[in-house]
């Protein structure tokens, strides 16, 4: 077997990523992928004297992905990075602020033609917090639909949620025993089993 330094294909442990970033061979790095790490991340880590956290991103100021001079690199959060790359218009931001707690993120993203990641970035930048289980009135409505005999999948379609999310909300609201009792009473126990 030929030593890597005598192999004509060896390029000093540097290679180019398909998106234009430079990869450096560094198998011991904690974030190495197949033994390689992005050069811009390594340079920033050397500059600040520590490993980057999961929430830190290195931005190329001039947009040239293989220009890894420290003067061209900027350390930022994911939210800041998204906003640098996606100049968001004020109308879209206002829509997100208005609709964030009344509509699913997917529906908002479709409405304003932004990605769900961008919608979440806007929400985070404006301090919006989504109630994990939605509004209590929403859960009440889901429970009423369930008691009226609608299937979990039909309720899920109405509420733009998965049938599992619907089932979990009902169980949190009334408990497992009551849930099973209603399901059996409707003769749909196979669909509703946990």
CA–CA separation, 22 vs 148, rounded Å?
59
Between residues 63 and 22, the one the model is more confident about: 22
First to last CA, the chain: 57
Q: How far is CA 102 from CA 88, 92, 106, 140, 157, in A?
A: 21, 16, 12, 15, 16
List the single range of 45-49, 138-142, 182-186 with lowest mean pLDDT: 182-186
Dmax of the chain from CA atoms? 76
What pTM does this model have?
0.46
For range 51-64, the mean pLDDT? 87
For range 96-113, the mean pLDDT? 82
Between residues 107 and 41, the one the model is more confident about: 41
Confidence category of residue 194, pLDDT binned at 50, 70, 90? very low
Checking if the pLDDT of 83 tops 80, the result is: no
For range 136-146, the mean pLDDT? 80
> Cα 132 to the chain's mean position, in Å?
15
Percent of the chain with pLDDT over 70: 84
| Tokens (6 digits) for 99 | 């609709």
For range 43-50, the mean pLDDT? 95
For range 24-33, the mean pLDDT? 88
């Amino acid at each position: 077997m030929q030593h890597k330094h005598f192999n004509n294909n060896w390029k000093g442990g540097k290679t180019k990523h398909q998106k234009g970033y430079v990869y450096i061979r560094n198998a011991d790095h904690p974030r190495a992928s197949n033994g390689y790490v992005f050069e811009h991340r390594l340079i920033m880590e050397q500059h600040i004297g520590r490993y980057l956290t999961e929430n830190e991103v290195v931005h190329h100021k001039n947009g040239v992905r293989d220009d890894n001079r420290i003067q061209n690199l900027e350390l930022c959060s994911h939210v800041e990075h998204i906003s640098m790359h996606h100049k968001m218009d004020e109308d879209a931001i206002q829509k997100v602020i208005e609709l964030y707690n009344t509509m699913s993120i997917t529906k908002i993203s479709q409405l304003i033609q932004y990605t769900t990641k961008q919608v979440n970035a806007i929400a985070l930048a404006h301090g919006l917090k989504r109630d994990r289980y939605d509004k209590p009135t929403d859960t009440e409505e889901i429970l009423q639909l369930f008691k009226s005999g609608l299937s979990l999948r039909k309720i899920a379609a109405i509420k733009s949620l998965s049938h599992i999310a619907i089932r979990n909300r009902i169980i949190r609201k009334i408990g497992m025993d009551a849930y099973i009792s209603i399901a059996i009473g409707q003769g749909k126990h196979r669909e509703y089993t946990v």
